[in-house]
Chain A
Amino acid sequence: MKLRLSPQPLEWIDRKNPLTFTFEGKEVTGFAGDVASSALWSEGSKVLGRSFKYHRRRGLLSFANHDVNALFQAPDMPNVRGDVTPVQEGQMFTAVNTFGSLASDKGSLVELIGKFLPVGFYYRAFYSPKFLFPKWERLIREMAGLGKVDTSWTESRQPKRYRHCDVAIIGAGPSGMAAAIAAAEQGVDVCLIDENPYIGGSLDYQYVNEEALSETRSSLKSTIESMANIQVIASAYVAGYYGDHWLAVNTDQGLIKLSAQSVVVATGVFEQPAVFRNNDLPGVMNASAAQRLMSRYAVAPCKEAVILTANPEGYRAALDMHKNGLVVKAILDTGSTDSEWVEQARQSGIPVFEHATIVEASGRKALQAVTFSVDGVAKQLACDGLLMSVGWAPAGAPLYQAGTKFAYSHTLEQLLPVSLPEGVYACGRINGVFDILDQFKDGEQAGLAAALYMQGKETPELNDYAAQMAHSHPYPIWQHPKGKEFVDFDEDIQFKDLKGAIAQGFDNIELMKRFSTIGMGPSQGKHSNMNGIRILAKLTGKTIDQTGSTTARPMFHPTPVSHLAGMRFRPERLTPMHAFHQSVNACFMEAGNWLRPEYYPSEASREASIAAEVAAVRGSVGLIDVSTLGKLEVFGKDAVELMDRLYTMRMSNMAIGASRYALMVDDSGVVIDDGVAVRYSDEHFYVTTTTSSSDSAYRMIQKKVIEWGLQVTVLNRTGQIGAMNLAGPNSRKILSQLTDLDLSNEGFPYLVMRRAKVAGVDATLIRVGFVGELGYEIHVDSMDALQVWDELMRVGEAFSIKPFGVEAQRMLRLEKGHIIVGQDTDGLTNPFEANMPWSVHFKKPYFLGKPSLMKLKNEQQRILVGFELLSADRNAMPLESNLLIEDGEMIGRVTSIGRSAALGKVIGLAMISIDYSKPDGELHIKLSDGRLVKAKVVKTPFYDPDGLLQKPDEEVHNKEQGAAA
């Protein structure tokens, strides 16, 4: 192992536990605790990936969960991040987005034509001539994307967890740890979240060799471990702050939805690369990346290093290298840092060049030399590592998402939070605090304040511990005549690209981003946005604050779909008779959340089975499960008033024991629901709604009860009551065997409700006529429904009873011309258009939507009519939604259609222009293939127009009742 160091004091690897995985088909050995990048690097593999556009070789850059050039393909996962993914025995990785292999990537030919591909080149070409664009596009799509998806991957879902805490602290570095302890000392419940497997943060990688801190370190860690009210959530990051201190915390085991009372953001800063020629050569990396590599994984970043620095942190990194016996050939200080640091470096034998500028990095496949200049004199040093320590940008995503404003500090040359939302605190380096002892203090005060805030106590004034000198270079960009100074490593954006974008007028930060795509790659600009802003500010002569920054939206890191989705919880409702339906192999359909029998396969085909069910109802008797209907009970002093107000028909004049069709419209007069209402007593009604609107209707009615100030109670009994409709000429004969109720016309007339025992069970029976035969809707307690159903089936056997499904019912009701709300009506249909003027009782002083209906009544333009097909051609059967055409214009559409066995013809309903609605008028239906078939308008009901069958032996009732269902 070429670059593995001797044991480090705080290393994460388990040297007793070596393991092997493959990368690009070659075996790599590492230790448990290694991430893929550290294991590869330890073996001297410095090319970890290819860049997105030019396919340049790339190595480590930030080593902080946004090294998107070290993105790997696993057999079961695209875009695996090498810098954070722990290696496992036998894993197989390849580099993403290479054409050939990582070593020999034909995609790198793109770089040869790089000069032909200026920023936004794709806006400039490929579109003319138009017919060639798809070809070019195919090529562009070929080059696009990173990892590969295997569409045969199976679904993976991770359960989510919920957690409530008092104070959530994001980041367990020095200030975060101090904050956790300070908050916990107040006795509150603290969650300390860190994306690394261990707490410690920069205290452990930047100060690993600082003897003076080792006691503090162990004391902090042991205190945190010992405090029962601190929960450390490690290997976890806050994907998003979603308002009201609601955090989406992503862990390897899934998402934790964490609701906190206050939040401390101690996320620290992202180290920013310097921008100079060939700054992307493998071996050039951030100094903090090198420190993490050494302290966590005991891997040397290189053997001979040059350090480019603008702050003390760079010197620290140089000394860490030195301590590990690695050669530091020189420190290139872009200015002149505190002489103490210079002194220390020189004492260790490291040459320091002050006021140095970097010229370029060079090397064939990886870094081999660095050229710099001091006082105008260029020098070159051979080296295999260049560590950049030129500045920091806030890891501010949670703060931005919480609504924090940032402003640029010229003292620090860094963006700092300036106004924090209530209950949100920041501490540590994100606050500009760079002195380690100050970081503890800043953390302590933030933790304390967060704990006091959530307890509703007064919070103390916060001290400003921000450093008084810059830790960032104000403009760490060094142009080279030959270019190749990379700003964004995800998107291969060079300095010249930004310059070009700005020159062309994309000189607003957002426009520059959108045109150049800077910051739009998988790292979302963590290493590039700040330099982009600096470049834009410089080239437009504005300040950083004037230039502004882009928003940091969720996700903080790309977050697995499997975690965000969690388990699949989709309700499914079954009726009380489901066991029966299953036992006879019913074919089910979904109606909202319900499963309903569409038909019962009794014949060879679906059509024949449905026809048999229809025939049974018309010829003898059938039974349908209508338990999915919404069922509401309405009772109280103002029950009558409510019913009158809710429905278009008058309900107050219903006799006790009567039933009535109930049609509901909204404020604008549009039909939204229908059902049947029955009156149990003066102040007690029972009403059904359509299957799909039971919840919304109930909700709406409750709201209206409040609005209207009525003394009435509404109960949603949908799930408590099972219902079935026994229909057909023989229905009475069957029912009479199961009840003592007088079923004679006199004892139980049409449209009347009775309460009685059926099969020994308390039932509400309604004589209804939806399907146009003598029929009884039977409502019983859900627990008893199956028993009643089974009894009806048993007794019905002698009459060849058939259970019938939704399809048969559709045909049966169509023969009667009854509408289905939502099928024969659309989002704008009013009752007049639905051809139900009888259902609107304007004489009532008030009902929902009345003023709208009064207006709409006089402006009717279309109407639902019945039609029959004149053509007998079985191959020219229109479908629902086929259009009606006159003189080449659309005049309407078919809403329902079916072949009526009882009538021997095809009948249907159509919503058409009122101009064409006269009875016997000829209509032309356009089939889906364009052919026109003839039909004519006919009156409804098609079948048994006088309603004699649903009330045998009775006088014909008035029209209102006849049309009620």
Chain B
Amino acid sequence: MPLRLVKYAWKKSEDEPRFFPDEKPLKKAYDVVIIGGGGHGMACAYYLAKEHGITNVAVLEQGYIGGGNTGRNTTIVRSNYLTSEGVKFYDESLKLFEDLSDDFDLNIFYSTRGHFTLAHTDSAMRTMRWRAEVNKHHGIDSEVVDVDTIKKEVPYMDMSCNGQHPVMGALYHAPGSVARHDAVAWGYARGAQMRGVEIHQKTRVTDIKTKGGKVVGVETDRGFIEAKKVVSMVAGSTPRITEMLDIETPIEIFPLQACVTEPVKPFMDTIVVSGSLHVYVSQSSRGELVMGASVDPAELHSTRSTLDFVEGLTDQMMDLFPFTSRLKIMRQWAGMSDITPDFAPIMGKTDVEGFYLDAGWGTWGFKATPVSGKTMAYTVANDMPHELIKPFSLDRYSKFELVGEKGAASVGH
């Protein structure tokens, strides 16, 4: 029995310090307004306060803390990307993740399970090796493994895939992890609030005001707020925010769906992804299989669920795990993915002075939570892009300097 729990047992829950303080009235002005109270927004607020001493900050959230993609993703954390830019960025994120529980004094259930990305064709094998080589070059624990190795780790997987597109090998990324997604947002939120940041839920930004090309504040459904610096960290809502400033971006919104089975006793310890079959799956510490696929086929700003998704996913999943046919799907849901043409994010300054953008997270936003918060905080505090995010500027497309993540054309979870 951990001592912590013994200690808690003697307290009444009423004595427990509030995790989130009572909401304060909106002030007239803040140094920085962050739009979006998801993981990224909270992390940015946290690092602004903790590392840059900027605490006169308001995070405005139209719904509730972590209610967007933070609470809708399948919680996978990894750094085995294809490009140097991607690898360095996500590796930093992974390192931050590892210490979050201690930083927060809150268990985020960061659980290292190992991550297999299966290859079913020789071209997929080449891509896996490419990723492995780039990863290893940057000191990331990542390697191409053969079928026997996979069998040892995931003995219950049908390597023949029902006779079509059998598994030929995999990219194995030992540090691949899962974490309790909500807790990441909560931990950052609490940490930010303890340092003076204000979080305002159910507060929707309706416009961003500028004067002479500079940001002067935001209009909300609770009134106008002055701010010289505004950061948009709203993932699937990004185009609605950038539209307020007439900023055009390459971002398109596509729903990304996921589902879980009824809980069963944990048997699956690793994370398994198959790009060819459009399946990724892990088992949560509640015993549910958490599963997802690729994004929906057409642009849509909605989190509705479709039957096509769950039909396709279950069908393909059975190629790998025939026994799952006896399980039941309990719940499906969706998030809105902000997809860019080169599968890399858009981060940093914009043409509008004082307006910073953190977007284009596609299907990889959760794993970037700590590092995007940290680098965006730096960027906002210094009005200068952090070294790690320089390749991710909004204007790279006009220069045709795309990030090469697209080379790994597989589901990126």
Q: How far is the CB of B174 from chain A (nearest CB, A)?
A: 13
Contact A124/B162 with A157-B318, A240-B305 known, Cβ cut-off 8 Å:
no
Q: With A and B bound together, what is the CA distance between A115 and B11 in angstroms?
A: 10
In chain A, what residue has the closest Cβ to B5?
A116
Q: Which residue of B lies closest to A520 (CB)?
A: B286
Give the CA-CA distance A253 to B107 in the complex, in Å: 44
Q: In the bound complex, what is the Cα–Cα distance between A78 and B289 (angstroms)?
A: 14
A148 at the interface (CB under 8 A from B): yes
Note all chain A residues with C-beta closer than 8 A to B108: 127
Taking the nearest CB of chain A, how far is it from the CB of B170, in angstroms?
14
> Please, how many angstroms separate the alpha-carbon atoms of A97 and B263 in the complex?
11
Which residues of the partner chain A approach B243 to less than 8 Å between Cβ atoms? Answer: none
Q: A146-B287, A148-B265 are in contact. Are A590 and B165 (CB under 8 A)?
A: yes
Given A127-B102, A157-B318, A852-B400, CB of A144 within 8 Å of CB of B2: no
> Quick check: B2 and A126 within 8 Å, CB to CB?
yes
Q: Which residues of A contact B67 (CB under 8 A)?
A: 510
Closest to A144 in B: B287
Indicate which residue in B14, B126, B314 contacts A503 across the interface (CB closer than 8 Å): B14
* Interface assignment of A574: CB less than 8 Å from any CB of chain B: no
Known A149-B326, A564-B314; judge A511-B65 contact (CB<8 A): yes
Query: Min CB distance, B278 to chain A, in Å?
Result: 13
When distances are taken between beta carbons in the complex, the residues of chain A under 8 Å from B20 are: 504-506
Task: Identify the interface centre among A153, A401, A926: most chain B CB within 10 Å of its CB.
Answer: A153
Nearest CB in chain A: distance from B370 CB, A: 16
Quick check: B19 and A504 within 8 Å, CB to CB?
A: yes
CB <8 Å contact, B133 and A150: no
Taken together as a complex, chains A and B put the C-alpha atoms of A778 and B133 apart, in Å, by 41
Residues of A within 8 A of B156 (CB): 151-152
Known A240-B307, A508-B64; contact A144-B318, beta-carbon cutoff 8 A:
no
CA–CA, A554 and B304, complex, Å: 10
Question: 8 Å CB contacts to B: which residues of A66-90?
Answer: 76-79
Report B221 CB to chain A, min CB distance, Å: 16
B1 to A881, Cβ gap below 8 A?
A: no
Q: Per-residue CB proximity of A559-574 to B under 8 Å, as 1/0?
A: 1111011101010100
B182 to A515, Cβ gap below 8 A? yes
Q: Which residues of B contact A480 (CB under 8 A)?
A: none
Given contact pairs A76-B326, A115-B9, A564-B329, A145 touches B107 in the complex (Cβ within 8 A): no
User: B274 to chain A: closest CB distance in Å?
Assistant: 14
Which residues in chain A, 338-355, are within 8 Å of chain B measured between CB atoms?
none
User: In the complex, which of the residues B2, B287, B305, B332 contacts A125, with contact meaning CB atoms closer than 8 Å?
Assistant: B2
Instruction: Count residues of B near A (Cβ-Cβ below 8 Å).
Output: 101
A127 touching B101 by the CB < 8 A rule? yes
Q: How far is the CA of A508 from the CA of B13 in the complex (A)?
A: 17
Considering the complex, give the chain B residue whose CB is closest to the CB of A567: B315
Contact A514 B71 (CB under 8 A): yes
Contact of A457 with B by CB under 8 A: no
A13 interfacial contact with B, CB 8 Å? no
Are A883 and B325 in contact, with the CB atoms below 8 A? no
Which chain B residue shows the least CB distance to A52?
A: B263
Complex Cα distance, B129 from A466, in Å, reads 66
With A127-B102, A137-B111 already in contact, the answer to whether A145 and B137 are too (CB < 8 A) is no
Cα–Cα distance between A96 and B328 once the two chains are bound (Å): 15
**Is the pair B329, A555 in contact by a Cβ cutoff of 8 Å?**
yes
Q: Which residues of B have CB within 8 Å of A115?
A: 9
B263 x A565 contact (CB < 8 A): no
B109 and A558 contact, CB distance less than 8 A: no
Q: CA–CA, A286 to B181, complex, Å?
A: 36
The distance in angstroms between the C-alpha atoms of A515 and B71, with both chains bound, is 12
Q: Assess whether A566 is in contact with B311, with CB atoms less than 8 Å apart.
A: yes
Question: Which of B40-48, B50-58, B385-393, B403-411 has 4 or more CB atoms under 8 Å from chain A?
Answer: B403-411
CA distance in complex: A128, B182 (Å): 19
A881 and B130 contacting across the interface, CB-CB below 8 Å: yes
Would B18 and A893 count as touching, CB distance under 8 A? Answer: no
Please judge, given known A-B contacts A121-B8, A555-B330, A928-B133, whether A144 and B266 are in contact too, CB under 8 Å: yes
User: Does B264 belong to the interface (CB within 8 Å)?
Assistant: yes
Q: Could you tell me the distance between the alpha carbons of A422 and B172 in the complex, rounded to whole angstroms?
A: 50
Q: Which residues of B contact A401 (CB under 8 A)?
A: 305
Q: Indicate with 1 or 0, residue by residue over A775-796, a CB within 8 angstroms of chain B CB atoms.
A: 0000000000000000000000
Cβ-neighbour of B109 out of A122, A257, A856, A859 (below 8 A) = A122
Query: Residues of A contacting B402 with CB < 8 Å?
Result: 668, 828
| Cβ of B21 under 8 Å from chain A | yes
Which residue from A121, A133, A553 sits with its C-beta under 8 Å from B5? A121
Q: Which residues of B contact A589 (CB under 8 A)?
A: 122
CB within 8 Å for A148 and B264 given contacts A242-B307, A559-B329: yes
Is there a chain B Cβ closer than 8 Å to A140's Cβ? yes
Q: Are B404 and A827 in contact (CB under 8 A)?
A: yes
| B307 & A157 in contact (Cβ 8 Å cutoff) | no
A496 CB–B CB distance under 8 Å: yes
A144 B285 Cβ-Cβ under 8 A = yes
Whether B318 lies near A155 (C-beta < 8 A) is yes
Main secondary structure of the interface of A (DSSP, over half): loop
* A149 near B2: Cβ-Cβ < 8 Å: no
A118 near B329 with CB under 8 A, answer no
A928 adjacent to B132 (CB under 8 Å): yes
Question: A124-B106, A504-B18, A856-B400 given as contacts; is B325 within 8 A of A149 (CB)?
Answer: no
B192 to chain A, nearest CB (A): 13
Say whether B330 contacts A558, CB under 8 Å. yes
By the criterion CB–CB under 8 Å, are B325 and A155 in contact?
yes
Residues on B with beta carbons closer than 8 Å to the beta carbon of A97: 265
B324, CB-defined interface residue at 8 Å: yes
Give Cα A122–Cα B65 distance, bound, in whole angstroms. Answer: 20
Closest partner residue, chain B, to A160 (CB atom)? B311
Interface centre among A116, A142, A566, A882 (most CB of B within 10 A): A116
**In the bound complex, what is the Cα–Cα distance between A115 and B13 (angstroms)?**
11
A124-B265 in contact given A524-B330, A555-B331, A893-B133 (Cβ < 8 Å): no
Contact A146 B19 (CB under 8 A): no
From residue A540, how far is it (CB to closest CB) to chain B in Å?
11
B315: A residues at CB distance < 8 A: 564-566, 568
For residue A823, CB closer than 8 A to chain B, the reply is yes
CA distance A517 to B284 in the complex (A): 14
30 pairs, CB–CB < 8 Å, chain A vs chain B: A78-B262, A79-B263, A127-B106, A148-B264, A149-B264, A150-B323, A152-B156, A154-B323, A155-B323, A240-B307, A504-B16, A522-B262, A554-B305, A555-B331, A558-B330, A559-B328, A560-B325, A560-B327, A560-B328, A561-B314, A568-B315, A590-B121, A822-B123, A826-B404, A852-B400, A855-B400, A881-B126, A882-B133, A890-B134, A893-B133
Chain A interface (Cβ < 8 Å from any Cβ of B): 76-79, 97, 113, 115-119, 121-128, 130, 133-134, 136-137, 140-142, 144-157, 240, 242-243, 246, 248, 257, 401, 496, 499-500, 503-506, 508, 510-511, 514-515, 517, 520-522, 524, 553-555, 558-562, 564-566, 568, 570, 572, 589-590, 668-669, 822-823, 826-828, 852, 855-856, 859, 879-883, 885, 890, 893, 926, 928, 930
Given contacts A79-B264, A147-B265, 9 further A-B contacts (CB under 8 A): A78-B262, A123-B183, A125-B107, A149-B264, A243-B304, A503-B16, A508-B64, A827-B406, A828-B406
- Chain B residues within CB distance 8 Å of chain A: 1-2, 4-6, 8-9, 13-14, 16-22, 63-67, 71, 84, 98, 101-102, 106-112, 120-123, 126-127, 129-130, 132-134, 136-137, 143-144, 155-156, 162, 164-165, 180, 182-183, 186, 201, 261-267, 285-287, 304-307, 310-311, 314-315, 317-319, 321-333, 341-342, 399-400, 402, 404, 406-407, 409
